[in-house]
């Protein structure tokens, strides 16, 4: 319970340099009156809110709180008591001040207090600004009564009162999460697809490499078999040639014809010439009788003898010539045979050389073939297995992540269902509805209303009183509506006090009275206020308020540019 005691205000909005001081708990009922814009709301609502929460009550920026004429020295000092301890909060702008004193001793702002404002709200006041606004101020000038709001707006007010608008924020956040998770899932699935494609590509590549090399080895081995066969053939040819040559060599003659034949041909020539000479002589003798030199007649005897001798000599030389020709023939046979054999040997030798060269070629082809096979067999394939293992691990990881995301999505969807208006909020609100209705009807009773007014879970009204069964809020008279509005205001105040456990000894009704249509309404309100222990401040400029009795009146007026108060008790 916070017991407000005294507030001192300087340079706050319309308040000037000379301080306005109000003893907050000195009287039960205070009327704050004055013309529009004299500073009635300022001296209570703005001053209290600023002192405790460092913020404007109305929707303006902080610097706009400083009095525009003086432009500095804005300060509000609030004295209050919580659990037997006396506190004093001093706060201001120009210069900036924020001090809290407990039993006259300043509370140092240090590590133990943390954020000074949070310390004040959490440790001392134990109240939030929102609860404060609901508990301390009723109505605020020009407020729209709850029942005149649209149903969604009514729901907003209730969520705010019950502090469950957090659930709406959570629902919105949760929706965001769902869409983030959804896009994460899409991303994960895309990644999975890419990785699986890469995996099968690597697997195929590895298999392809091995198959290709195996095929190459096989082809080389087939080629090797062909080459070995060719080598065998070539070697056989070389061997055959060698054997042929070995046979041909000994078939050659001793070569003696080479030496013999020229002599024999020369001798044959000499013999043939001799025969020719002798035959020439013989012919002369047989055809001539005179000597060609001396022209004398050749002796017949001599001639006959000479012819005889010449015949004999020719025959003899003829024999010798035949011998020589026979010898030549024998040697010529050798020569011609040798010639043929030598030609053959040359042929065979050149064939052998060709075969030997192809043997060498084939052997070297076999060598390179075998080397190639060895290289192929020794070939180390680019090992994809590690890459594949890594990829597999990554795939597993992403799959797990995807599962987690799916799980998250499922959970978020479940949370969504819970956070929906029809979900847990409805349950919470549903639980409070009877409490709200009880509070509203208690106040209606206190105000002497002869009807009961209830809200359902959609915040639509039902009237249970006989004869008014089909009534809606608008069916009621202005005065009756006023009673309902006031009851709801007080009911919400009580609800917040119930929920937050916060209590303050000050209640400000800002122009709440001014809406009532008759003095009956005022009487009814007085009835309620009589049941309230707090110091009540009624801000009003309605004449009807004269029907109400006050312990103190604070008349707020403008003195020049500044607000001024006149207190009468």
Binding site for ligand ATP (CB under 6 A): 13-14, 34, 36-42, 64, 66-68, 141, 556
When CB distances are held under 5 to 8 angstroms depending on the partner's kind, the choice from ligand ATP, Mg ion, none that residue 37 binds is ligand ATP
When CB distances are held under 5 to 8 angstroms depending on the partner's kind, the choice from ligand ATP, Mg ion, none that residue 42 binds is ligand ATP
CA 223 to mean position of chain CA atoms: 54
Q: How far is the CB of 31 from ligand ATP (least distance, A)?
A: 13
Query: In terms of CB distance, is 141 or 567 closer to Mg ion?
Result: 141
Alpha helices in 447-557 (DSSP H): 478-500, 519-530
Per CB under 5 A, which of residues 127..146 are in contact with Mg ion? 141
Query: Which of 189, 190, 191 is closest to 405 using CA atoms?
Result: 189
- What's the DSSP call for residue 477? -
CA dihedral (166, 168, 171, 172) positive or negative: negative
Binding mask 31-70 toward Mg ion (x if CB under 5 A, else -) reads ----------x-----------------------------
Q: How far is the CB of 40 from Mg ion (least distance, A)?
A: 5
Q: How far is the CB of 28 from ligand ATP (least distance, A)?
A: 22
Q: How far is the CB of 445 from ligand ATP (least distance, A)?
A: 31
When CB distances are held under 5 to 8 angstroms depending on the partner's kind, the choice from Mg ion, ligand ATP, none that residue 38 binds is ligand ATP
How far, in Å, CA of 295 to CA of 284, rounded? 13
The residues pairing with 88 across neighbouring beta strands, listed in sequence order, are 79, 101
Q: How far is the CB of 141 from ligand ATP (least distance, A)?
A: 4
3-state secondary structure of 342: helix
Query: In terms of CB distance, is 141 or 395 closer to ligand ATP?
Result: 141
Query: In terms of CB distance, is 141 or 354 closer to Mg ion?
Result: 141
- What are the angstrom distances between the C-alpha of 93 and each of 10, 73, 107? 10, 6, 20
Query: In terms of CB distance, is 141 or 178 closer to ligand ATP?
Result: 141
> CA-based Rg of the chain, rounded to a whole angstrom?
70
Contact of 51 with 7, CB cutoff 8 Å: yes
**Phi, psi of 468, rounded to the nearest 5 degrees:** -125, 20
- Work out the angle at residue 95's Cα, subtended by the Cα atoms of residues 92 and 97, and round it to the nearest 5 degrees: 45
Query: Which of 90, 83, 76, 1 is closest to 46 using CA atoms?
Result: 76
Q: How far is the CB of 136 from ligand ATP (least distance, A)?
A: 15
CA 548 to mean position of chain CA atoms: 70
When CB distances are held under 5 to 8 angstroms depending on the partner's kind, the choice from ligand ATP, Mg ion, none that residue 352 binds is none
Q: How far is the CB of 510 from Mg ion (least distance, A)?
A: 6
Binding mask 89-128 toward Mg ion (x if CB under 5 A, else -) reads ----------------------------------------
Interface with Mg ion by CB under 5 A: which residues?
41, 141
């Amino acid at each position: 319970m916070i017991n407000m005691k005294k507030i001192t205000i300087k340079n706050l909005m319309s308040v000037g340099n000379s301080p306005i001081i109000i003893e907050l708990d000195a009287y039960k009922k205070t009327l704050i009156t004055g013309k529009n814009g004299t500073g009635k709301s300022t001296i209570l609502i703005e001053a209290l809110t600023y002192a405790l929460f460092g913020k404007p009550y109305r929707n303006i920026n902080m610097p706009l709180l400083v009095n525009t004429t003086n432009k500095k020295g804005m300060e509000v000092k609030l004295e209050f008591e919580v659990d037997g301890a006396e506190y004093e909060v001093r706060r201001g702008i120009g210069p900036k001040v924020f001090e809290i004193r407990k039993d006259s001793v300043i509370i140092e702002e240090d590590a133990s207090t943390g954020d000074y404002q949070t310390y004040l709200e959490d440790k001392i006041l134990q109240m939030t600004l929102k609860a404060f606004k609901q508990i301390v101020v009723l109505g605020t000038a020009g407020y729209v009564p709850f029942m005149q709001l649209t149903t969604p707006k009514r729901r907003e007010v209730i969520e705010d009162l019950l502090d469950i608008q957090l659930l709406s924020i959570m629902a919105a956040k949760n929706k965001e999460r769902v869409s983030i998770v959804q896009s994460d899932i899409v991303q994960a699935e895309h990644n999975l697809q890419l990785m699986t494609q890469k995996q099968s590509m690597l697997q195929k590549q590895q298999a392809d490499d091995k198959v290709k090399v195996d095929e190459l080895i096989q082809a080389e081995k087939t080629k090797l078999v062909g080459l070995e066969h060719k080598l065998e053939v070539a070697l056989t040819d070389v061997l055959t040639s060698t054997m042929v040559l070995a046979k041909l060599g000994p078939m050659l003659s001793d070569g003696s014809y080479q030496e013999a034949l020229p002599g024999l041909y020369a001798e044959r020539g000499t013999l043939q010439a001799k025969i020719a000479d002798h035959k020439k002589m013989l012919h002369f003798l047989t055809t001539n009788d005179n000597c060609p030199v001396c022209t004398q007649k050749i002796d017949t005897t001599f001639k006959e003898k000479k012819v005889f001798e010449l015949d004999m000599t020719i025959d003899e030389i003829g024999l010798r010539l035949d011998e020589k020709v026979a010898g030549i023939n024998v040697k010529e046979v050798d020569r011609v045979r040798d010639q043929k054999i030598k030609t053959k040997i040359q042929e065979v030798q050149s064939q052998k050389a060709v075969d030997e060269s192809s043997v060498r070629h084939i052997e070297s082809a076999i060598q390179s073939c075998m080397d190639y096979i060895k290289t192929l067999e020794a070939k180390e394939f680019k090992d994809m297995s590690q890459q594949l293992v890594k990829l597999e691990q990554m795939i597993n990881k992403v799959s797990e992540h995807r599962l987690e995301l799916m799980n998250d999505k499922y959970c978020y969807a479940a949370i969504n269902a819970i956070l929906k208006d029809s979900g847990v909020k409805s349950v919470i609100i549903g639980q409070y509805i009877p409490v709200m209705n009880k509070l509203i009807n208690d106040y209606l009773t206190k105000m002497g209303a002869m009807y009961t007014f209830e809200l359902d879970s959609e915040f639509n009204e039902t009237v249970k009183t006989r004869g008014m069964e089909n009534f809606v809020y608008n069916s009621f008279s202005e005065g009756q509506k006023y009673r309902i509005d006031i009851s709801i205001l007080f009911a919400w105040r009580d609800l917040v006090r119930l929920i937050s456990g916060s209590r303050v000894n000050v209640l400000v009704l800002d122009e709440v009275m001014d809406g009532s249509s008759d003095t009956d309404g005022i009487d009814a309100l007085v009835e309620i206020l009589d049941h309230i222990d707090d110091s009540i401040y009624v801000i009003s400029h309605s004449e009807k308020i004269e029907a109400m009795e006050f312990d103190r009146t604070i008349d707020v007026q403008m003195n020049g540019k500044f607000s001024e108060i006149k207190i009468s008790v």
